[in-house]
Amino acid sequence: MKDKFIVYERPTCSKCREMTKLLKEAGVDFDKVNYYVEPLSPKEIAELLKKMDMPARSLLRTSESIYKELGLAKAQLSDKELIDLMSKHPDLMQRPIVVRGDRAVLGRPTENVQALLQ
């Protein structure tokens, strides 16, 4: 596997820990980025969304209190506006996100990463 894997995560997240275990068992060399410690810029989030071929709204964690506080369920916001909010409030982003080269998947469920392992 020539492209390095990068996992964007929160270490306390159970799905993120599952992803770490899955990749280690598969013998994959990867780096982890705790985006709570190293916040992602709007540009980085936009690039991840492009690699996942996903609109910004699909990356939102709708069960988070900040999602409810900001009234995002009813808000008519552009992708750019949602990306800016995710950059300011990392709790809004689903995780883990796994990148390999120019492709990425949301690792929820963890089996989604199989597409990158081939």
> What is the domain-level CATH number for residue 55?
3.40.30.10
Question: How confident is the prediction for the chain on average, in pLDDT?
Answer: 95
Domain that holds residue 23: 5-117
* Per-residue pLDDT at 82: 98
**Look-up: residue for tokens 């506080």?**
69
* Per-residue pLDDT at 71: 95
Please name the residues in contact with 80: beta carbons below 8 A apart, sequence gap of 6 or more.
Answer: 42, 46, 56
Q: Model-level pTM greater than 0.75?
A: yes
CA distance 18 to 110: 7
1, pLDDT greater than 60: no
For the residues 76-92, what does the mean pLDDT come to? 97
Please name the residues in contact with 117: beta carbons below 8 A apart, sequence gap of 6 or more.
Answer: 1, 26, 28
For the residues 43-72, what does the mean pLDDT come to? 97
For the residues 28-36, what does the mean pLDDT come to? 96
**The token pair that represents 105 in the structure block:** 């998947």
Active site amino acids: 13
27, pLDDT greater than 60: yes
Torsion of CA 37, 21, 57, 65, to 10 degrees: -60
112, pLDDT greater than 90: yes
What total number of domains does the chain contain? 1
